Structure 1
Amino acid sequence: MFGFIVAGLIIGALARLIKPGKQDLSILWTLLLGLAGSVIGGVVANLLDTGDIFELNILGFVVAVIAALLLIGVAEGFASKKDHG
């Protein structure tokens, strides 16, 4: 379980580095969305029978990073609408 959390934090940090431009989310929110992305990646990998949700595998990792990027983008969209709305 600890490894899963660490992987999620790394995925969040990696997603933040990959995403271009200025980011309006705090580091904490980015890391939490990375955790959510790692859960999504683990679930997808499990559904595709490439490994358990707690195992680190390539497909799960890639899906987790993509999911974290999408979640960060959506969260930033909500944050910018809130600031400009």
Structure 2
Amino acid sequence: MEISGIISAILIGIVVGILGRLVVPGRQRIGVLWTILVGIAAALVGTGIAAGFDVADTKGIDWIELAIQTGLAALGVAALDRFKSRS
């Protein structure tokens, strides 16, 4: 993976993390850094899932891939918030 691919994965991860956080209702007790890390992980895993379903490479914006990534980010944010509230 080239440096441009890494930078784009980080930027997409930030956007996906923010979208995932917006989807989860209520207030989350996790910081911005955790949101970004969850978003990056969700973007990478979501891309793999989208490639498995053969919806990762479409003309224009990959809306299905973005929906998968956002859903994974929302699950990750909710799980991390629940884990941190128990601690």
Please give the TM-score of this superposition, normalised by the length of structure 1.
0.84
Written as runs of structure 1 = structure 2, the 5 A alignment for 1:19-38 is 19-38=24-43
- In structure 1, the gaps of 5 or more residues are none
Q: Which has the bigger relative contact order, CA under 8 A and spacing at least 6? A: 2
> Per the alignment, in what secondary structure is the counterpart of residue 34 of structure 1?
helix
CA distance in 1 between partners of 2:27 and 2:54 (Å): 37
CA distance in 1 between partners of 2:23 and 2:56 (Å): 25
* Aligned-residue CA RMSD (Å): 1.4
- In structure 2, the gaps of 5 or more residues are none
Please give the TM-score of this superposition, normalised by the length of structure 2.
0.82
1:4 pairs, out of 9, 12, 16, with 9
Tell me if the contact between 1:38 and 1:64 (Cα under 8 Å) persists in the aligned partners.
Answer: yes
Misfit runs of 4+, over 2 Å: none
